[in-house]
Amino acid sequence: MNTKRLITQLVSLFLFMNCAFTQQSVNIIPQPVFSELKNGIVSIGAQTEIVLINKDAARTVAYLNDYLAKWTGYKLKIVNQPVKDPAITQIIYDIKVKADAPDEAYGIKARDNTIRLMGDARGLFNATQTLLQLMEQNASSDRKKISFPACDIYDYPRFQYRGMHLDVGRHFFPVDFVKRYIDLMALYKFNTFHWHLTEDQGWRIEIKKYPRLTQIGSMRKQTVVGKKFNPFVGDSIPHGGYYTQEQIREVVKYAADRQITIIPEIEMPGHALAALASYPYLGCTKGPYEVATRWGVFPDVFCAGNDSTFTFLENVLDEVIQLFPGKYIHIGGDECPKTRWEKCPKCQERIRQLGLKDEHALQSYFIQRIEKYLNGKGRMIIGWDEILEGGLAPNATVMSWRGEEGGITAAQQHHDVVMTPGKYVYLDHYQSRDSSEPLAIGGFLPLNTVYGYEPIPAKLSVEEAKYIKGAQGNVWTEYMPTESQVEYMVYPRAIALSEVLWSQQNKKNYDNFLNRLKIEMKRLDRLKVNYAKHALGIKGDVNRTKEGIIKLSFSSRLDGAKIRYTNDGSEPGPNSEIYLQPLTIGKSMTVRARPFLNDQPYGNEYRQDFIIHKAAGKKVISKFAPGKEHNPGSDFALVDGIEGSENSDDNNWFGFSGNDLDAVIDFEQPVEISSFGINFINNPRGWIYPPSSLSFSVSDDGMVFRNVASKDSFENKRLLKIRMDVTSLKARYVRVIAKNAGKIPEGKPGAGNDAWLFVDELLVF
């Protein structure tokens, strides 16, 4: 070893000990199968060379250099021959060492001035991602010097299908964003991009044979505002866009350069309004149709009785096949109402002719006919789990979204399965129950739930489990109108999913993951990804003292952060009050708080309006328990000074399925009362109804109550804030009864089921 190198290494070691980390293993996401730190360090800088032994890695090396150029400002020289004991570091792209290594496996051996990456083309791309994480974590601020510990890594994925989906139908996203989406996927070793290209609200792929699909179908005249469906409020802003075939080829190549396969989705027979608006002959009623301006499921679908529907779809698929070289074409199959088929002479004639049992069998015929066509062209279909209904097409892969049942059934029938159950991987669901969350479609899917997902259902046998090829995060964009909102919903939850899909089960540990995520967030910051910071951000807990005083306390996982807050509604800044102990909420106020790291705001803001009224913090008992998914956990939440927001999934709402609200507040002594209040949600689409009647009664002994206010009709508004004045009275107990609406009436979503009653905050003034 020459002296110069020794000095370089000592200097690096010194730097490393001072400013890097003291760790037992490398900090890689997703967690590798095997990694071990070795003595010494390796350094990369502008002089480092790449040795391209495995020529299959040429595109990956080009990718690496592009990445480095953007990040460090330099590219590395590519040479053909490794040097023994080189003077400057060489990154060797070598062939795979173990012939029987699993698909996509790679090895890294980093020592002194040699970083050897071993694998086939896909393995070496994965190795490059691991290398980039090591580099990002250990770069000097000017990136001239990148030093990390010598190490051995051997790694391969647990699942072969590691997917992310993007709905560009509900909102269109330009090519540059789609590329960025793919770029981010690549960092976490995803290998499949499911591109949802057609929807009721927009057709996004140019089809040369049918120009109206993009002339008409790619544009809607406006979009529903928030959740104002009934009565409908539109934004009067046309929304549209599509990808030309040239752009699609460009994206396909871009993804392939990152070892990502794209699965295009062309939806049928449902979610087809944009196609029908373009070519009304494709529908049962022949229209006229309009590209949808609101979200939901629409009765007008492709006519299954008309052969020209199939001619159209085959012609479309011919062009799709030309654009997408991957094995799979996704044909949708979900959420296809059968109402038009039931009335359509052609559809009914088809059922008679083929002796089909019903309209579900007709859907099965539809999918099987398309499958046969695509199989004939050497392609395989994937469909949403509804394609099980009426009989599964012989070679279909099932994407299980309405839970895991569809996937289980398909695996038991020896069909390949991709798991995408709503409860674990629908990244359009809320990730926090804070009422300050931006509007989302619903649900609740925090980071730890994604992380805890296990794609192989316990009830499958070992043999059946082999059909579970992997899982995918779904990103439906009804409530993601902007690129930054997509990133907010996807990251970091997609990173948690990457570990579900890649890492061995025994390597998973949520706490450890959060520590690695904290490091990775620095890269997300550098890349200006608008990721959600709940995992490290601030959490507010509201409690009451024995004396009925409401207290607000904060916590944060962020080491060294100071929490600063205001209680006058103003934005917390570096000079705002520092949080030291639980705050007393003695009067109505707006509290805003945020962690600050070195005087810089970090993470999500906590923001809460408190309304302090006479019952706030008092004793309350609800006779019935709310349903499990809509239970804030303690009756105190009925009087915690926080009102439920428009979002029925926020954690303030008490949701009673079939049951009434029957609650008694005990003030422990008589109090003067001049008015009552209570809030409800009214959202029949979500099976949530106002009560059939509401009454407030009072008592001095808690036994005999007299009615003082009641009401049995309610406005047609989503958020009902009921306020009722009474002639001033004095009482110790207040009883509130809100009668559940009962069974959902015919003609409404969920007809015949128990209605939900959503209640929050019982107010007394």
The reply on whether position 479 binds ligand ACM by CB under 6 A is no
Tokens 């925090």 correspond to 446
**What is the closest distance, in whole angstroms, from the C-beta atom of residue 428 to ligand ACM in the complex?**
9
Residue number, 328 or 554, with CB nearest to ligand ACM: 328
| 614 three-class SS | coil
Residue number, 155 or 385, with CB nearest to ligand ACM: 385
Residue number, 5 or 346, with CB nearest to Zn ion: 346
The reply on whether position 401 binds ligand ACM by CB under 6 A is yes
346 binds, options Zn ion, ligand ACM, none, Cβ within 5 to 8 A by partner type: Zn ion
**From CA 431, how far away is CA 437, in angstroms rounded?**
8
**From CA 699, how far away is CA 551, in angstroms rounded?**
28
**From CA 493, how far away is CA 387, in angstroms rounded?**
28
Residue number, 367 or 620, with CB nearest to ligand ACM: 367
Q: Which of 658, 657, 644, 668 is nearest to 761 (CA)?
A: 644
Residue number, 195 or 384, with CB nearest to ligand ACM: 384
Q: Do 761 and 721 touch, CB atoms closer than 8 A?
A: no
* Token pair belonging to 508: 């998973």
344 binds, options ligand ACM, Zn ion, none, Cβ within 5 to 8 A by partner type: Zn ion
Q: DSSP letter at 120?
A: S
The reply on whether position 605 binds ligand ACM by CB under 6 A is no
Residue number, 347 or 450, with CB nearest to Zn ion: 347
Between helix 359-376 and helix 345-354 the angle, nearest 10°, is: 80
Residue number, 344 or 497, with CB nearest to Zn ion: 344
Amino acid in the structure at residue 90 = Q
467 binds, options ligand ACM, Zn ion, none, Cβ within 5 to 8 A by partner type: none
609 binds, options ligand ACM, Zn ion, none, Cβ within 5 to 8 A by partner type: none
565 binds, options Zn ion, ligand ACM, none, Cβ within 5 to 8 A by partner type: none
**What is the closest distance, in whole angstroms, from the C-beta atom of residue 284 to Zn ion in the complex?**
3
303 binds, options ligand ACM, Zn ion, none, Cβ within 5 to 8 A by partner type: Zn ion
Q: Do 533 and 559 touch, CB atoms closer than 8 A?
A: no
**What is the closest distance, in whole angstroms, from the C-beta atom of residue 303 to Zn ion in the complex?**
3
**What is the closest distance, in whole angstroms, from the C-beta atom of residue 46 to ligand ACM in the complex?**
48
Helix ranges, 297-434 (H):
307-323, 339-343, 345-354, 359-376, 405-412, 422-425
Q: Per residue in 570-580, is it b (16+ CB within 10 Å) or e — as a string? A: eebeeebeebe
Residue number, 120 or 334, with CB nearest to ligand ACM: 334
Q: Do 439 and 483 touch, CB atoms closer than 8 A?
A: no
390 binds, options Zn ion, ligand ACM, none, Cβ within 5 to 8 A by partner type: none
E strand or H helix at 760? strand 756-764
Amino acid in the structure at residue 418 = V
CA distances from 465 to 79, 387, 454, 459 (A): 45, 20, 12, 9
**What is the closest distance, in whole angstroms, from the C-beta atom of residue 171 to ligand ACM in the complex?**
15
- Contacting ligand ACM (CB under 6 A), which of 112, 235, 334, 609? 334
Cis check: omega of the bond before 264, within 30 degrees of 0:
no
Q: Which of 267, 67, 234 is nearest to 167 (CA)?
A: 267
**What is the closest distance, in whole angstroms, from the C-beta atom of residue 167 to ligand ACM in the complex?**
9
212 binds, options ligand ACM, Zn ion, none, Cβ within 5 to 8 A by partner type: none
**What is the closest distance, in whole angstroms, from the C-beta atom of residue 422 to ligand ACM in the complex?**
7
Tokens 């002796």 correspond to 355
* Token pair belonging to 318: 């011919």
Q: Do 579 and 593 touch, CB atoms closer than 8 A?
A: yes
Residues in 186-205 at the binding interface with ligand ACM, rule: CB under 6 A: none
**What is the closest distance, in whole angstroms, from the C-beta atom of residue 350 to Zn ion in the complex?**
8
The reply on whether position 389 binds ligand ACM by CB under 6 A is no
Residue number, 333 or 641, with CB nearest to ligand ACM: 333
The size of the interface with ligand ACM (CB under 6 A), counted in residues, is: 4
335 binds, options ligand ACM, Zn ion, none, Cβ within 5 to 8 A by partner type: ligand ACM
384 binds, options Zn ion, ligand ACM, none, Cβ within 5 to 8 A by partner type: ligand ACM
CA distances from 694 to 75, 710, 714 (A): 71, 5, 10
Shortest-Cβ-distance residue relative to ligand ACM: 334
The angle formed by the CA atoms of residues 655, 658 and 662, to the nearest 5 degrees, is 70
**From CA 508, how far away is CA 514, in angstroms rounded?**
11
Residue number, 303 or 399, with CB nearest to ligand ACM: 399
Cis check: omega of the bond before 231, within 30 degrees of 0:
yes
Q: Do 175 and 247 touch, CB atoms closer than 8 A?
A: yes
**What is the closest distance, in whole angstroms, from the C-beta atom of residue 271 to ligand ACM in the complex?**
8
Residue number, 241 or 443, with CB nearest to ligand ACM: 443
347 binds, options Zn ion, ligand ACM, none, Cβ within 5 to 8 A by partner type: Zn ion
401 binds, options Zn ion, ligand ACM, none, Cβ within 5 to 8 A by partner type: ligand ACM
Residue 683 burial (CB count, 10 A): 21
284 binds, options Zn ion, ligand ACM, none, Cβ within 5 to 8 A by partner type: Zn ion
**What is the closest distance, in whole angstroms, from the C-beta atom of residue 301 to ligand ACM in the complex?**
14
The reply on whether position 384 binds ligand ACM by CB under 6 A is yes
**What is the closest distance, in whole angstroms, from the C-beta atom of residue 345 to Zn ion in the complex?**
8
**From CA 189, how far away is CA 738, in angstroms rounded?**
52
305 binds, options ligand ACM, Zn ion, none, Cβ within 5 to 8 A by partner type: Zn ion
Q: Which of 372, 368, 399, 371 is nearest to 386 (CA)?
A: 399
Tell me which residues touch Zn ion (CB under 5 A).
284, 303, 305, 344, 346-347
**From CA 158, how far away is CA 153, in angstroms rounded?**
16
Residue number, 272 or 698, with CB nearest to ligand ACM: 272
Strand partners, 224: 234
Residue number, 86 or 422, with CB nearest to ligand ACM: 422
- Contacting ligand ACM (CB under 6 A), which of 120, 235, 335, 358? 335
**What is the closest distance, in whole angstroms, from the C-beta atom of residue 342 to Zn ion in the complex?**
9
Residues engaged in binding ligand ACM (CB under 6 A): 334-335, 384, 401
